[in-house]
Every structure is written in C-alpha cells, then in structure tokens.
Amino acid sequence: MRIVFKTSYDADIRLFKHKAQAFWYLLLFALAILLPFLISDFLIGEATLVLIWAICGMGLMVLVGQTGQASLGHAAFMAVGAYSNVLYQEHFSMPFLLSFPLAGLTAGVAGALIAMPITKLHGIYLAIATLAISVLAEDLIVIMEPLTGGVSGLFAPDIEIFGFVFNRYGNPVELYWLVLFITFLIVYLYRNMLRSPIGRSFAAVRDSEVSAKAMGINVARTKMVAFAISCFITGLGGALMGHFATIFTNETFNLIMSITLLLIIVVGGLGTIHGAFFGAIVFVMLPLVISLTRDALTVFADSGSVTIPGLESGLFGIILIGFILFEPMGIYGRWLKIRTYFELFPFYRKDMFRRQKSYLKTERTR
C-alpha cells in the first residue's frame, strides 16, 4: 500500500496520484494501440464497438454518475448526434473533421434546451420526463421524414479525413485507431472536467442539493451544464455509432437503447470513467459469449443449433439484478475491493465497504 503525502493543493487534483499509476495507465494505452496486432479483424470491429459504447456511456456518466440526475432518454441525444452529423455532411458538404464536433455541439445545445424546463424535476419525475423525450424523439424522426428519411433511415457515408477513407469493412484497424484517438480525447476532457470547479460542483449537487446551494452553487445552472456536457459527449458517440452502423433509422435509437445505456453504466460502476468501459465490454461481449457457448454446446450435444430469442436481454437483465443486489458499485467497485484486499493483506475485513443502513423519507412533502 502506497501512501501519498499531499504537500500542496495541486497534489489533490493531479491527473495521476503517483508515478506508478501513470505507468500502468500508459501501459494500458500502449496495449490499446497495439491491440490490432494481437487479435483478429473481427474482434477489432467488436473492440471499436466497445469504445463507441464507452463514449456514449461516459456521456451518460457525466449526468448520472457525476451529477446524480437519472436519464432514461439518452438515445435521443445519440440520435441527434448521428442524424446531424450525416446531415451536415450531406447538405452542407462539410468534412468529417467539422461535422463531427458540430454534431456533438448540436446534441449539447439540444440537451441544454431540454434541460431548462426539466431540471427543476427530481428523481423519479426526471426519469419519467427523459423517458418521454426518448419516446418522442423516436416518433419525431418519423415525422420529420424529408430531413431524416423516416422509417427508411439514413445512410452514413464513410469517414473521410484529408482524402483518407475509413471504412468498417475496408480498413477496420484504421477505424479502430481513429475511434481510439477520439476516446482518448474524451477521457482526457472528462478527467480534466472533474478536476475543474464545474466538476466539483457536479459532485456537490449529486451529494446534496441543499448543501450545494448553501456553498453558493447555482444548482439549476449546474444541472443544465451537466446536461449540455453529457449530451455533447453522447452526441459524439451517437455520430460514431451512425458511421459504424452505416445505416440507421428511427428504430436504431429507441427506448431500449436508452435503457441499455443506463444499464451499461450501472453494471460498470456509477461515478467512474472505468465503469463506462467495463459496462461497454460486458454489453458487447455478452452476445459473443452466448454464441460461443452455443457452438460449444452443439458440439457436445449434437442437437443442432438452438436459438432462444430474447436471450441476450434476458441474461443482461439477470446480470444487472445481480449487480444491483450484491455489488451496487458495479464491476469497478468489485475491482476496488479485490485491490484493497491485496494491498492490505492480511488485514482486509469483510465490512470495510459495508453500506450504511438508511431509511427512506417521502419526497411528497418538501
């Protein structure tokens, strides 16, 4: 166990706590860059998908994990990102380098506009309002057919940067590196945001609105900024998802996707950047694992391939219930416990991470 003595205020907000931590993260990043040399092209495609889901997850994490505002409607902002990205490229013939950040900005502005009336809502009401937004967005895409192509959807052209073309099937490795680079930028932005006053005020609002107000934080404005940043990142993720899927319709960004996004960050671990990545890995790998198990079983039983429709979402639901009941901090929380166990060996005690006993009071009288 390493104890860091903080001798200046800067030590509190340093990017890495100590040199060893910086070393491990750099090693991880190097490994991520070298990944294409280690695994097949198919798996690289899956890894790209993991990164895209992680970006979207990080977007939602800003809102749910950092600011404590539940949202069941983030697929709507993914849709804004995906559609505006393609529309900017088609109608204004913008290059990807311009349309991509603009798509994120569009989603961010949309998020801020929607946040204005609904940030005064709390807990469950906020969840329902965002749920309604997700449903409305799906129908609005159909209604705005001349722009969005309605139910037949939009076709996303290949990403092109200074004449170099990225295609999911043509050159998956280059696409992976591009997405990795964008992911790196967003993680860097996210990490810095947490160190800045705005990130601190997010945490204050999450932990107690009353005390945040007492400390001089404008709660309504903070929530709005959280919505804007969250939707900006999610919009970027949505734009990438559009390119990755090559064709997308109103059905792509439906309510189930909103909920899936929320489930991803809960399984991964709320309130941490790691959580978004862990959750995305679980969600993307689950269908792979299922199909592998199925193949293995068919070899054994020789009964022909058995397909059970809806198995993935059912299994995902069961995994999620398990996590909420037994490990509310998600995979990252479990990892922290394991690490603490080894760091303190043999002094780890079972109740070190015990939840405090709490009782609910009604929110109906305020």
The residue within the footprint of other proteins, chosen from 35, 109, 129, 194 (CB under 8 A), is: 129
Positive/negative CA dihedral, 185, 191, 195, 198: positive
314 binds other proteins, rule: CB under 8 A: yes
- Residue from the set 35, 128, 198, 286 that interacts with other proteins by CB under 8 A: 128
**Tokens, residue 99:** 């349309």
What's the Cα-to-Cα distance from 20 to each of 4, 9, 16, 17, 26, rounded to whole Å?
A: 12, 20, 9, 8, 10
On whether the CB atoms of residues 155 and 246 are closer than 8 A, the answer is: yes
Q: Which of 28, 97, 143, 161 binds other proteins (CB under 8 A)?
A: 143
List the interface residues with other proteins, window 28-47 (CB under 8 A): none
Nearer to other proteins, 41 or 139 (CB): 139
The verdict on whether omega for the bond into residue 309 sits within 30 degrees of 0, i.e. cis, is: no
Site string for other proteins, 176-195 (x = CB under 8 A): --------------------
Inter-residue contact 223 to 205 (CB < 8 Å): yes
Q: Which of residues 252-281 bind other proteins (CB under 8 A)?
A: 255, 259, 262-263, 266
Work out how close the CB of 172 gets to other proteins at its nearest, in angstroms, rounded to a whole number.
31
Shortest Å distance, C-beta 285 to other proteins: 18
Burial 60-80 (b: 16+ CB within 10 A, else e): bbbbbbbbbbbbbbbbbbbbb
Smallest distance, Å, CB 216 to other proteins? Answer: 21
For residue 6, report the phi and psi dihedrals to the nearest 5 degrees.
Answer: -90, 115
Sole binder of other proteins in the list 13, 185, 321, 338 (CB under 8 A): 321
* Interacting residue ranges for other proteins, rule: CB under 8 A: 70, 117-118, 120-121, 123-125, 127-129, 131-133, 135-136, 139-140, 142-143, 255, 259, 262-263, 266, 308-311, 313-318, 320-321, 324-325, 328, 357-366
